[in-house]
């Protein structure tokens, strides 16, 4: 008889060894001090241990709670085939009115359209001819955009490595994101909000750029007074370190824009030592610029003023007619040779229409620049394009050899290299990252795709771990207290058989935790509730079996025959009862979100394991016990 039980002993031994192996990292991690964790993190070993532990959810470990809202007015503007000031004015008005509580953007937008008498078919002809058809189509586009934002954010966060994030819709245009255990909140915000709109623009040549700057000076001289310009200049200054802007001299180490682009005579009104405040009246735009190696630049203190000037209607009209736009670089840079302290942003004059967009990116990978390249050892993102993108990229690079092309991400220029030769492979690199994490995040965003509509954070909360510590302590106490009561009850009521059931119950909890660790699942408060429920569910099967065995013993059967008959008769009942609970847990997992999924996961595996321990482990113990010769009674 003992030889017949050997395979069962081996199975139980292997499962026990696996459970200990799966739970050992969690045990080690929970008993580590902060100093030990920091040492392992420095050595690069902590991440490996953390990947094998039972993770804790936002309600237990703390983290970030963020509510995002999609910018529907911007989406509507992007969907328009044609744009003008009239449509933009209506969108801006509807956007302002819809900020009030319980005011729907589309309702206000439709009312403003009717009041203005504008024909939407001029701007959205692809969606129909009548106002009703167009409004219905635009609402559908907004709903579809939110669903795509939801999916894209899910992909981004999954690649970011957050354990069991909760990402779900709230109302029509809002999304709730819960990130458990997040440490770098700034990085997480950037990852969620970045629209990842990648575009490739040709940079206009020096002569065209210089001419546009002169035209903007002429336009602004007629429409902007000196006092307004001074206020704009002063508003952007860093008061602690910078001198008043009016005191900046040309001999600060920078060149004039005219000198940068090769003109022999300085531009009218450019700063000189005796120009004084007249600089604003004569050159409102170029007076705020400086020259950097290869580009024109804007001191940090002047960025605010330049943006305000570029936003003026007369400036936008001039740029629109010239089919151009000014775009800032992504980061400010410090340059040697300038006597005025501070950093400068590069300012690029680009074509209005992109040659290529990020939709053609097939692969994006963060890496270090290769030896021999200009970015050797520096973080870069390597891009591979699909077949359509490769053909377009080959055409653009082949037709513009010697010109510069700007790589623009979310309306900021990351780099603007010169095209040296035709690139037929559809491959390129983005450089200029401050760290490898920044490059990795961009690669994640580009792989996941660009958001169809910009999103903004309207609510953000940092959930501290103190609540989690209290919840864990209370949950642990509840499990221990409930477990102790069940163990005592089974021991008193079923005697020796109760000891077998208690052993199976402890096995059940051990195996459930081992499965959670192996699946890298996240334990939440509802998950702890599921674990407590599993304690009751797992003992239920043993109660059914023991009562069947008692019935057989009362009929006069031997202990071995009673055990065999009890298990056989209880099998169908146990399977039927547990299968219905398994179905419910699967439904909860499929259609639930966040904590509900955590509860369903624990419940599902708890039920499966309880069936295994009740039908396999306890029967193995009973078979071993009844195999002894001369056994005539059973303590049950």
Quick: pLDDT tens for 288-300: 888 777 788 888 8
Which among 195, 117, 110 has a CA at the least distance from the CA of 149? 195
pLDDT of residue 155: 65
SS3 readout for 486-531: HHHHHHHHHHHHHHHHHHHHHHHHHHHHHHHHHCCCEECHHHHHHH
- Distance of alpha carbon 418 from alpha carbon 397, whole angstroms: 10
**More confident position, 318 or 522:** 318
Q: Which residues contact 473 (CB under 8 A, 6 or more apart)?
A: none
Percentage of the chain surpassing pLDDT 90?
A: 6
Residue pair 365/428 in contact by the 8 Å Cβ criterion: no
Find the DSSP H helices in 80-130.
Answer: 85-97, 105-116
pLDDT of residue 184: 66
Domains (ranges, CATH) in the chain?
A: 2-56+466-626 (1.20.1640.10), 63-195+455-463 (3.30.70.3400), 355-448 (3.30.1360.200)
Element containing residue 443 per DSSP (H, E): helix 436-448
| Range in 47-61, 102-116, 136-150 the model is least confident about | 47-61
Between the alpha carbon of residue 381 and those of residues 365, 430, 433, the distances in Å are 5, 5, 9
Residue pair 601/609 in contact by the 8 Å Cβ criterion: no
- Distance of alpha carbon 627 from alpha carbon 620, whole angstroms: 11
pLDDT of residue 337: 59
Residue count of the chain, please give it. Answer: 636
Beta strands in 376-513 (DSSP E): 379-385, 405-409, 412-415, 427-430, 455-463
- Distance of alpha carbon 103 from alpha carbon 97, whole angstroms: 7
Quick: pLDDT tens for 489-509: 989 998 888 998 898 888 888
For 449: left if phi > 0, alpha if psi spans -120 to 50, otherwise beta; the answer is: left
pLDDT of residue 348: 92
Quick: pLDDT tens for 255-295: 344 443 333 333 333 333 344 445 666 778 888 888 777 78
Tokens standing for residue 78? 């992007």
- Distance of alpha carbon 365 from alpha carbon 385, whole angstroms: 12
Which among 283, 323, 320, 327 has a CA at the least distance from the CA of 303? 327
pLDDT of residue 266: 37
**More confident position, 1 or 426:** 426
Quick: pLDDT tens for 371-385: 666 667 778 888 788
End-to-end CA gap in the chain: 22
Task: Establish how many alpha carbons lie within 13 A of residue 501's alpha carbon, considering only the half-sphere containing its beta carbon.
Answer: 30
Tokens standing for residue 55? 């993770």
- Distance of alpha carbon 248 from alpha carbon 266, whole angstroms: 17
- Distance of alpha carbon 213 from alpha carbon 349, whole angstroms: 10
Mean pLDDT of the chain: 78
Quick: pLDDT tens for 303-315: 888 888 888 888 8
């Amino acid at each position: 008889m003992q030889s017949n039980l050997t395979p069962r002993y081996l199975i139980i031994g292997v499962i026990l060894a696996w459970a200990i192996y799966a739970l050992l990292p969690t045990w080690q991690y929970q008993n580590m001090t902060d100093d030990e964790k920091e040492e392992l993190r420095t050595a690069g070993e902590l991440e490996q241990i953390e990947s094998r532990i039972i993770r804790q959810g936002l309600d237990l470990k703390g983290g970030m709670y963020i509510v995002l809202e999609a910018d529907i007015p911007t989406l509507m503007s992007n969907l328009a085939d044609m744009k003008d000031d009239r449509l933009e004015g209506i969108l801006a008005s509807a956007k302002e009115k819809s900020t009030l509580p319980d005011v729907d953007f589309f309702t206000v937008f439709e009312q403003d359209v009717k009041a203005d008498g504008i024909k939407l078919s001029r701007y959205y002809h692809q969606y129909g001819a009548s106002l009703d058809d167009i409004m219905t189509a635009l609402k559908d586009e907004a709903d579809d955009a939110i669903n795509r934002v939801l999916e894209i954010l899910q992909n981004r966060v999954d690649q970011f490595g957050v354990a069991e994030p909760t990402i779900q819709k709230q109302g029509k245009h809002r999304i709730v994101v819960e990130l458990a255990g997040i440490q770098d909140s700034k990085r997480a915000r950037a990852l969620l909000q970045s629209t990842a709109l990648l575009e490739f623009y040709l940079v206009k040549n020096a002569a065209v750029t210089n001419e546009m700057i002169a035209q903007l000076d002429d336009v602004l001289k007629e429409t902007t007074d000196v006092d307004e310009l001074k206020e704009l200049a002063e508003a952007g200054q860093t008061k602690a370190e910078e001198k008043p802007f009016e005191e900046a001299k040309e001999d600060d180490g920078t060149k004039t824009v005219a000198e940068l682009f090769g003109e022999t005579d300085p531009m009218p009104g450019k700063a000189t030592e005796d120009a004084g405040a007249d600089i604003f009246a004569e050159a409102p735009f170029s007076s705020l610029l400086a020259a950097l190696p290869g580009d024109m630049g804007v001191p940090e203190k002047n960025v605010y003023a330049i943006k305000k000037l570029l936003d003026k209607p007369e400036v936008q009209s001039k740029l629109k007619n010239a089919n151009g736009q000014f775009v800032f670089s992504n980061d400010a840079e410090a340059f040697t040779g300038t006597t005025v302290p501070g950093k400068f942003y590069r300012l690029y004059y680009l074509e209005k229409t992109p040659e290529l967009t990020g939709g053609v990116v097939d692969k994006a990978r963060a890496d270090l620049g290769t030896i021999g390249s200009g970015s050797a050892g520096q973080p870069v993102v390597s891009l591979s394009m699909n077949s359509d993108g490769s053909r377009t990229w080959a055409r653009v690079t082949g037709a513009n050899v010697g010109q510069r092309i700007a790589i623009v991400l979310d309306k900021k220029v990351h780099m603007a290299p010169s095209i040296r030769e035709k690139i037929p492979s559809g491959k390129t690199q983005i450089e200029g990252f401050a760290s490898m994490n920044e490059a990795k995040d961009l690669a994640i965003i580009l792989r996941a795709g660009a958001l169809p509509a910009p999103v903004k954070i309207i609510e953000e909360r940092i959930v501290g771990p103190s609540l989690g510590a209290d919840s864990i302590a209370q949950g642990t106490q509840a499990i221990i207290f409930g477990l102790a009561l069940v163990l005592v009850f089974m021991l008193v009521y079923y005697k020796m058989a109760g000891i077998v059931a208690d052993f199976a119950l402890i096995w059940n909890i051990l195996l459930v935790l081992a499965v959670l660790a192996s699946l890298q699942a996240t334990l939440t408060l509802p998950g702890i509730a599921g674990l407590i429920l599993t304690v009751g569910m797992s003992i239920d099967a043993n109660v059914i079996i023991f009562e069947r065995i008692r019935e057989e013993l009362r009929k006069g059967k031997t202990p071995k025959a009673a055990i065999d008959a009890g298990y056989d008769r209880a099998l169908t009942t146990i399977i039927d009862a547990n299968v219905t609970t398994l179905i419910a847990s699967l439904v909860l997992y499929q259609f639930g979100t966040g904590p509900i999924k955590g509860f369903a996961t624990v419940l599902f595996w708890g039920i499966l394991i309880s069936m295994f321990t009740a039908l396999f482990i306890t029967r193995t113990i009973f078979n071993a016990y009844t195999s002894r010769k001369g056994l005539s009674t059973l303590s049950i």
